[in-house]
Structure 1
């Protein structure tokens, strides 16, 4: 004969459900704020690195060799993921694209992961377009792949490229007015 034991039914304290729901909300919100703060700090490290590279390039003529050396040294000293020479070049482009660090700390770009920012840098030429797509990516929760797809397949963008590209049959050399 096997005996089974059961836990006695616990009585929930008065108001416990409301307390626990509030606690769960605070924990989720706190984790989200912490993740956002960490992301902004990391992006500011990338931005400062890029900004200093711009200044040193102007003063000392640093070029792509500096990006390669930085990548090697960071990998050696920190065993950091990323920090390829291409990442370092993106950091410089990041600082050029958003010259004020407040844009990172307070703007929509500061809410995006680095992979999204590199997509914006690689596929768009103006800050206005980058900010617009950064906002869309946040609003819709796009992955970096979805962001890239949205940029490449935007109908107005494709039409504009066809109209200004002489290689496209029927293409013309004029700008479309903004809607």
Structure 2
């Protein structure tokens, strides 16, 4: 004969469900705020690196070789993921695109991971466009691939590019008339 032991049902204290729901939400929100703060700090490291690269290039004539050396040294000293020469050059471009660090700390750009920012830098030429797509990526939770697809397939953007191309000599087979 097999005996089974049963545990008495746990008695839930009065108000526990509401208390625990509040605690669970507080933990989720705290983790999210901590992750966002860490992301902003990392982006500010990238931004400061880019800003200083711009300054050193102007002062000492540093070129792309500096990006290669920085990449090698960071990998050696920190075994950090990323920090390829292309990442270091993106850091410079990042500082040029957003010359004010407050935009990173307070704007949608600060809520995006680095890979999203490199998509914005590679595919858009204006701060306005980058900020607009950063906000869309945050609002909709886009992956980097979805962000890139949205940029490339926006009808208004393609129309504008087409109209601009037609004004260029030789664009779309049109030649400008001489006056």
Question: For this structure pair, what is the TM-score category when the shorter chain's length is used for normalisation?
Answer: over 0.9
Q: SS state of the match for residue 34, structure 1? A: helix
Q: SS state of the match for residue 165, structure 1? A: helix
Q: SS state of the match for residue 9, structure 1? A: coil
Q: CA RMSD in A?
A: 1.3
- Taking the aligned partners of 2:125 and 2:22, their CA distance within structure 1 comes to 45
The TM-score with structure 2 as length reference comes to: 0.93
Report if aligned partners of 1:109, 1:131 keep a CA contact under 8 Å in 2. Answer: yes
Structure 1 stretch displaced more, 55-64 or 155-164: 155-164
Q: SS state of the match for residue 12, structure 1? A: coil
| Post-superposition offset of 1:170 | 6.1
Provide, for residues 35-66 of structure 1, a one-character-per-residue CA deviation record: whole Å limited to 9, x for no partner.
Answer: 00000000000000000000000000000000
2:130 paired residue number: 130
Residues 1-179 of structure 1 aligned to structure 2 (within 5 Å)? 1-166=1-166, 167-169=171-173
- Taking the aligned partners of 2:95 and 2:45, their CA distance within structure 1 comes to 11
Matched length: 172
- Taking the aligned partners of 1:171 and 1:158, their CA distance within structure 2 comes to 21
Gaps of at least 5 residues in structure 1 are: 173-179
Gaps of at least 5 residues in structure 2 are: none
Give 4+ residue runs of structure 1 displaced > 6 Å after superposition: none
1:175 paired residue number: none
Provide, for residues 73-114 of structure 1, a one-character-per-residue CA deviation record: whole Å limited to 9, x for no partner.
Answer: 000000000000000000000000000110101111000000
- Taking the aligned partners of 1:169 and 1:18, their CA distance within structure 2 comes to 69
